[in-house]
Amino acid sequence: MGQLLPILILVAIIIIAGLLLARFGNSRHYEIELTFKQLKDYFLKKHYCMSCNNKLKRRAKEEYKGEGWSDIMNTFSYAKKYKRIYDLHCSICGRSYQSEQLNS
């Protein structure tokens, strides 16, 4: 029970933040789908460009999926839905890489 409490508080904060945003009429929901390899490639590991060996930087892109109702932890709310996708970008040559193109 002692370990569950911080999680419950966090959930409560997220719901309150969601409700506040909804009240201001610009509620947005982000859908993020990452495999374990993608999570490692985009957030944990450093990768270098295959052409110029420059360190790659993570970029996030948002794909608009339309408006609608979502059920987040049993709270229904109306929001603009986005799907968030990542890639790694080289600022020197402009190449971008997906997790699938990188060697683990």
Chain contacts with Zn ion (rule: CB under 5 A): 49, 51-52, 54, 90, 92-93
Q: Shortest approach of Zn ion to residue 53 CB, angstroms?
A: 7
Q: What is the identity of the amino acid at 76?
A: F
Cβ(19)–Cβ(77) below 8 Å: yes
- CB of 35 or CB of 51, closer to Zn ion: 51
Asked if 80 and 28 count as a contact pair (C-beta separation under 8 A), the reply is yes
* Among 60, 45, 32, CA closest to 102: 45
CB of 49 to Zn ion, least distance (A): 3
Nearest distance from C-beta of residue 88 to Zn ion, angstroms = 10
Residue 16 vs 92, nearer CB to Zn ion: 92
Q: Between residues 13 and 93, which has the closer beta carbon with respect to Zn ion?
A: 93
Specify whether the CB–CB gap between 88 and 41 falls below 8 A.
Answer: yes
